[in-house]
Structure 1
Amino acid sequence: MTERWRVTVDRRVCVGSGLCAGLAPEAFRLDPARRSHAVPGAREASERVREAAEMCPVEAIAIVLADTGEAVFPPGD
């Protein structure tokens, strides 16, 4: 079975670099103010989505397992 993720963006932290939407347009959108938001719903695990989270300049992106809520990124303690 394929791992499924839920992705969130802390819009209070987002600076609107657009990097996430450029790397993984299937998972992120920019609003008119250029703040990112995750496309709603669970999605299949994706290296592009993980890369977008890892490269976010302000660490505004979180990924959890859809089934359990366990942290994928940033990794849990």
Structure 2
Amino acid sequence: MSEDPPRLLIDRALCISSGICAATAPTHFTRSADGRAAIRPDAPPVDAHTEDAASLCPVEAITFTRDRD
């Protein structure tokens, strides 16, 4: 049985709209109308750019999960 790929999560309550995620991984992140981070609906699978964006987020608002809701 193969493991599900990780999914991106953004805690919008933590997001301070720094824009680092969208600058680091523009194919994965965008900014919503309120300026906070949002995951692009057409985002490709998690890769090194998304991991970099998560590690650079000043408030650690970006995480990954393998759990399905």
**2:15 aligned counterpart, secondary structure:** coil
Distance 1:43 1:12, change over 3 A: same
Distance 1:4 1:43 in 2: 11
User: Is the 8 Å Cα contact of residues 21 and 28 (structure 1) preserved in structure 2?
Assistant: yes
Q: 2:8: which partner in 1?
A: 7
More relative contact order, 1 or 2 (CA 8 Å, 6+ apart): 2
Distance 1:40 1:8, change over 3 A: farther
By how many angstroms is 1:10 displaced?
0.6
Q: 1:74: which partner in 2?
A: none
Q: 2:21: which partner in 1?
A: 20
Where does structure 2 lack aligned partners over 5 or more consecutive residues? Answer: none
Q: 1:30: which partner in 2?
A: 31
TM-score normalized with structure 1 length: 0.71
Q: Deviations over 1:26-70 (max 9, x none)?
A: 1111012210012247842300000000110000001123xxx2x
TM-score normalized with structure 2 length: 0.79
Q: Bigger CA drift: 13-22 or 3-12? A: 3-12
Query: How is 1:34-49 mapped onto 2 (pairs within 5 angstroms)?
Result: 34-40=35-41, 43-49=44-50
Distance 1:53 1:24, change over 3 A: same
In the comparison of the two structures, how many residue pairs are matched?
65
